[in-house]
Amino acid sequence: MLKYKLSYSVTNEGKMESKDKNLHKGHRQRLRKEFFDSDITNMPEHKILEVMLSFVQPQKDVNPLAHSLIEEFGSIANVVDAPLSSLVKVKGVGEVLAQYLKFCSKFSTIYNMSKNKNNLKLTTTNEIVNYLKNTILIGNSEDFYYICLDAKSKVICCKKMGVGSNFQLQLNYRNLLKEILNFEPSSLVICHTHPHGKAYPSQADKEFTFNLEKLMNSIHLRLCDHIILSHEDYFSFFHNKLLDNRLAKNQLKHLNDDLFTFDIGFKD
């Protein structure tokens, strides 16, 4: 009797395991079909991440890992933007997978820049901000970018120039102008990021912008705007009328070949 019950129990377990396998059979194919055949804007982020992970770990059920990553970082954007050191701390994420996720982040930036190159006009503050949001990444440091525009306001290039610490970035006027003149632009938009604070300019931000605008005007280039971009909002010098009016009333300050400390930390 004991042998019969044990045999019956093992048989049932085998059936349950078989049934469980049947439920997951074809799951990856169905998931990929859903991804490629439907509007992914309504697809849960953990499913999209699962599709991404399935190409790197094709023989493994990556659904639990996708859930873990979203739970740990909050969103796909936060996952791919997370430092390598943070990604590898998640159970199931090795160095190669972490590097793949970082590759996805960098590739999206290059893709957007390539797609928009020479085909996009930036004529309003909203257009500039949307372009920046789709092109650059707000990382853990204060970064500086510039956008060169031609005479018809078409994008010539968008380049990162300076990478600072959490609260400070140093730039050199001479190096900046030397670099942008290689692209022969008619006008320029500059941007720096505030990953840890509000999008609001410090006094040093203002002085840097006014000085740069004055210098650009002297060589017949126009500074269209200076955008400060954070995760939550943005600040436009042009929209807030901080360009041109001040320029007409003030002389150039502190402009020399030394590094100008671009203090972009926000303080309450």
- 190-223 pLDDT per residue, tens: 999 888 778 899 888 898 899 899 889 888 899 9
pTM, entire model = 0.56
Per-residue pLDDT tens digits for 54-109: 888 887 888 999 999 999 999 888 898 888 899 999 999 999 999 999 888 878 77
Q: Quickly count: other Cβ atoms within 10 Å of residue 244's Cβ.
A: 14
Q: Quickly count: other Cβ atoms within 10 Å of residue 166's Cβ.
A: 12
CA distance 49 to 75: 9
- Out of 3.90.1140.10, 2.60.40.2220, 3.40.140.10, 3.40.50.2300, select the CATH number for domain 118-262: 3.40.140.10
CA neighbor of 192 nearest in space, from 260, 124, 249, 246: 260
Q: Quickly count: other Cβ atoms within 10 Å of residue 39's Cβ.
A: 6
Please name the residues in contact with 120: beta carbons below 8 A apart, sequence gap of 6 or more: 131, 154, 155
CA distance 244 to 162: 25
- Cα-Cα-Cα-Cα torsion 191, 193, 197, 201, nearest 10 degrees, comes to -20
Strand segments (E) across the chain: 143-149, 155-163, 169-171, 187-194, 222-230, 234-236, 260-262
Radius of gyration of the chain (CA): 26
Domain edges within the chain: 2-110, 118-262
What's the mean pLDDT in 153-177? Answer: 72
Q: Band of the pLDDT at 24, cuts 50, 70, 90?
A: low
